[in-house]
């Protein structure tokens, strides 16, 4: 098997034992790796219906055939599990040296199962695991943890860890690395905390075997060179994703006051140009030649790495007009290991609920833009130290089910929406609502295409565009497990990827075969949700009620909102194009075409298959 390592390392935390086992070769070709491999493992081995915090829930780290290789932006790792935030499939993509070292360790996935009684540091050398007591690390934030680990293991070791958010089972805690890389929005860090894993360190010393090394190298160098020569490269190096603030304001999609509006009067205080005037550093994932982490100093003098999502969701969405204030919340999220997007979502929902008199805890009233209170709340959430912090630590879906206010809880399937307001963007609303992990933009960022095209339509072409992007982004990039930004942001030619895959593995990958892999992964993830929910209905693919019920009150698109009739029509197109039935369940012929016959007996017991 060339291009893949062919092995999974299974780590039993109860017995403190590890073993490396080959996985079926056809899984590699049919699922590629990363997200694909993770869902295949979860379907095969995760016990249906379990509590995500139970020891039996598997935690998976996976890479793909292009991860860690000398090609553009390949230092990415997929972390996946059954999500404690949504109850369905959850994953995330984190830029970290862990990916590069894992690639050299002879492994394609690491699966953690069981639970340790005491805090653990797992130290992996190739596939040899030592289980070390981590009492001295438990309670430290992610930066402090990494600093200690770097002193011991050196600059070149791969490492990931959790902060107090993961330790205290905050449902949107993430896995952290390198002081600002964060992955696993749907609470994958909390699953790690439930197993008492504080950190995992890895070093690999093996050669990666490729099918056609010579041509792989030539193609990789060509792509790396092309990145630097793209016309948008210099501007990207100045602003990275931060340029999106001005664009989102212009397009009336900048989330403001808990997604009540799409414009923020004071957006200039948090935009890319302001960031440029404050920028002190730039960093990013390993081996990347278009590093996008823009660093400014927050109000406490900490270095804070900013991306559009963080800034919009913790800035305009909370009514905060000053970038250094936004940065301080962002720093705390990174240190505590909390997902910034869900954090901004839950603080926004909490503020609206407080303003409406729904959330009355300890007589505290939340106000838009109140940075001091927000800072206190981030730590109350991470440590679950007050009643209010404890409610918000559950995420918007669980919190509103408890106290009310679900009509303005801006999530899909329980995962908070990333930073694009969709009152006037039905295609992006569809992308959020059909994303396989809940509302994440990573699967289909259709909004820039939508704004330039027939923005307000609910037509078939729009549903087809969402699927095309899901195939490339959520299917291919999440599974080859490299960064998609060279293509998305500066237009690297996508044709490098089938070629690189073919040279790496010796299997001829074309766009047809890559799309089949992507469709297989989406259908299997859908089957996993159905198995976990023991039911399925199209209501799970509906966007937040707020975008239908409460129109925009400001800006050029004042009065804009989604239409139920239109959205249902768009969803019908989407299902039809995917070969799924009217309830969003893959049809038998679709499952057969994708070699997913093995899910049919399980699904037949839960839903009527057509």
95 binds ligand SF4 (CB under 6 A): yes
> Please, are residues 336 and 163 in contact by the beta-carbon 8 Å criterion?
yes
Q: Which residue has the tokens 């995962």?
A: 415
Q: Which does 288 bind (CB under 5 to 8 A by kind): ligand PTT, ligand SF4, none?
A: ligand SF4
For ligand PTT, the closer of residues 261 and 416 by Cβ is: 416
Q: Provide the 3-class DSSP secondary structure of residue 450.
A: helix
Per-residue tokens: 575: 């299902």
For ligand PTT, the closer of residues 13 and 483 by Cβ is: 483
Q: Which does 93 bind (CB under 5 to 8 A by kind): ligand SF4, ligand PTT, none?
A: ligand PTT
290 binds ligand SF4 (CB under 6 A): yes
Q: Which does 290 bind (CB under 5 to 8 A by kind): ligand PTT, ligand SF4, none?
A: ligand SF4
477 binds ligand PTT (CB under 6 A): yes
Nearest distance from residue 553's CB to ligand PTT, in Å?
Answer: 27
The angle subtended at Cα 36 by Cα 33 and Cα 42, nearest 5°, is 115
Nearest distance from residue 551's CB to ligand PTT, in Å?
Answer: 27
Q: Helix 511-533 crosses helix 496-505 at what angle (to 10 degrees)?
A: 80
Q: Which helix (H) or strand (E) holds 121?
A: strand 120-125
For ligand SF4, the closer of residues 485 and 524 by Cβ is: 485
Closest-CB residue for ligand SF4? 284
Nearest distance from residue 288's CB to ligand SF4, in Å?
Answer: 3
Q: Which residue has the tokens 């509103």?
A: 400
Q: Which does 325 bind (CB under 5 to 8 A by kind): ligand SF4, ligand PTT, none?
A: none
Alpha-helix runs per DSSP H in 404-544: 426-434, 447-452, 460-469, 485-490, 496-505, 511-533
Q: Which does 241 bind (CB under 5 to 8 A by kind): ligand PTT, ligand SF4, none?
A: ligand PTT
| Own/partner pairs, 267-271, CB within 8 angstroms, 24+ separation | 267/316, 267/321, 269/321, 269/322, 269/323, 270/245, 270/311, 270/312, 270/315, 270/316, 270/320, 270/321, 270/322, 270/323, 270/326, 271/242, 271/245, 271/246
Per-residue tokens: 200: 């995992």
Q: Which residue has the tokens 């230092």?
A: 75
Nearest distance from residue 94's CB to ligand PTT, in Å?
Answer: 5
N-term to C-term CA, the chain: 37
Nearest distance from residue 49's CB to ligand SF4, in Å?
Answer: 35
Q: Which residues contact 207 (CB under 8 A, 6 or more apart)?
A: 104
99 binds ligand PTT (CB under 6 A): no
Backbone φ and ψ for 176, nearest 5 degrees, come out as -115, 160
Nearest distance from residue 24's CB to ligand SF4, in Å?
Answer: 30
d(CA 260, CA 407): 12
- Which residues between 142 and 201 bind ligand PTT (CB under 6 A)? 174, 180-185
For ligand SF4, the closer of residues 291 and 386 by Cβ is: 291
Of residues 184, 284, 315, 586, which one binds ligand SF4 by CB under 6 A? 284
- Which residues between 292 and 331 bind ligand SF4 (CB under 6 A)? 292-293
Q: Which does 182 bind (CB under 5 to 8 A by kind): ligand PTT, ligand SF4, none?
A: ligand PTT
- Which residues between 329 and 358 bind ligand PTT (CB under 6 A)? 333-334, 338-341
For ligand PTT, the closer of residues 183 and 584 by Cβ is: 183
37 binds ligand SF4 (CB under 6 A): no
Closest-CB residue for ligand PTT? 92
Binding mask 66-85 for ligand PTT (x = CB under 6 A): ----------x---------
| Closest of 447, 421, 432, 441 to residue 252, by C-alpha | 421
| Own/partner pairs, 20-23, CB within 8 angstroms, 24+ separation | 20/106, 20/107, 20/127, 23/108, 23/109
- Which residues between 462 and 501 bind ligand SF4 (CB under 6 A)? 483, 485
Per-residue tokens: 109: 């996935």
**Interface contacts to ligand PTT, rule CB under 6 A:** 76, 92-95, 174, 180-185, 241, 285, 305, 307-310, 333-334, 338-341, 442, 477-478, 483-485
**Interface contacts to ligand SF4, rule CB under 6 A:** 73, 95, 284-285, 288, 290-293, 483, 485
């Amino acid at each position: 098997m060339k291009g893949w390592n062919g092995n999974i390392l299974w780590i039993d935390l109860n017995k403190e034992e590890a073993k490396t086992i080959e996985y079926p070769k056809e899984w590699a070709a049919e699922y590629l790796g990363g997200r694909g491999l993770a869902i295949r493992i979860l379907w095969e081995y995760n016990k249906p219906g379990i509590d995500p915090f139970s020891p039996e829930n598997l935690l998976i780290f996976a890479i793909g055939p292009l991860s860690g290789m000398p090609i553009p932006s390949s230092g990415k790792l997929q972390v996946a599990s059954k999500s404690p935030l949504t109850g369905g499939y959850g994953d995330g993509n984190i830029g970290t040296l862990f990916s590069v070292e894992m690639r050299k360790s002879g492994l394609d996935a690491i699966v953690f199962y069981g639970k340790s009684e005491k805090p653990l540091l797992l130290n992996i050398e190739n596939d040899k695991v030592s289980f070390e007591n981590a009492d001295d690390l438990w309670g430290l934030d992610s930066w402090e943890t990494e600093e200690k680990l770097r002193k011991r293991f050196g600059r070149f070791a791969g490492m990931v860890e959790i902060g107090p958010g993961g330790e205290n089972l905050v449902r949107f805690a993430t896995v952290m690395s390198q002081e600002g890389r964060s992955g696993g929005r749907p609470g994958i860090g909390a699953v790690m905390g439930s197993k008492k894993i504080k950190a995992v360190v890895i070093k690999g010393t093996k050669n990666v075997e490729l099918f056609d090394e010579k041509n792989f190298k030539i193609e990789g160098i060509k792509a790396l060179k092309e990145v630097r020569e793209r016309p948008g490269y210099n501007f990207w190096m100045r602003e990275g994703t931060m340029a999106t603030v001005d664009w989102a304001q212009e397009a009336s999609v900048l989330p403001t006051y808990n997604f009540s509006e799409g414009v923020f009067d004071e957006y200039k205080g948090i935009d890319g140009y302001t960031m440029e005037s404050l920028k002190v550093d730039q960093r990013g994932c390993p081996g990347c030649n278009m590093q996008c982490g823009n660093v400014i100093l927050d109000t406490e003098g900490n270095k804070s790495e900013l991306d559009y999502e963080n800034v919009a969701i913790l800035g305009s969405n909370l009514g905060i007009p000053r970038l250094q204030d936004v940065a301080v919340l962002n720093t705390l999220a990174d240190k505590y290991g909390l997902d910034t997007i869900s954090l901004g979502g839950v603080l926004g929902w909490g503020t609206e609920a407080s303003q409406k008199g729904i959330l009355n805890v300890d007589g505290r009233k939340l106000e838009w833009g109140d940075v001091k209170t927000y800072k206190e709340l981030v730590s109350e959430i991470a440590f679950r130290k007050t009643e209010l912090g404890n409610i918000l630590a559950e995420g918007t879906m669980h919190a509103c089910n408890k106290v009310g206010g679900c009509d303005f809880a801006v999530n899909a399937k329980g995962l908070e929406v990333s930073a694009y307001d969709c009152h006037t963007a039905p295609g992006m609303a569809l992308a959020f609502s059909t994303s396989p992990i809940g509302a994440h933009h990573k699967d289909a960022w259709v909004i820039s295409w939508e704004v330039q095209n027939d923005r307000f339509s609910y037509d078939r072409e729009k549903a087809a565009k969402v699927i095309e992007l899901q195939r490339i982004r959520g299917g291919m990039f999440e599974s080859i497990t490299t960064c998609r930004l060279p293509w998305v942001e500066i237009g690297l030619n996508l044709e490098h990827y089938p070629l690189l895959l073919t040279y790496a593995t010796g299997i001829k990958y074309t766009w047809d075969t890559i799309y089949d892999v992507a469709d297989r992964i989406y259908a299997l993830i859908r089957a996993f949700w159905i198995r976990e929910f023991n039911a399925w209905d199209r209501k799970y693919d509906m966007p937040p009620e707020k975008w239908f019920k409460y129109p925009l009150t400001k800006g050029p698109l004042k009065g804009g909102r989604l239409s139920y009739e239109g959205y249902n029509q768009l969803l019908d197109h989407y299902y039809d194009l995917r070969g799924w039935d009217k309830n969003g369940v893959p049809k038998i012929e679709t499952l057969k075409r994708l070699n997913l016959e093995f899910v049919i007996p399980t699904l037949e017991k839960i839903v009527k298959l057509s």
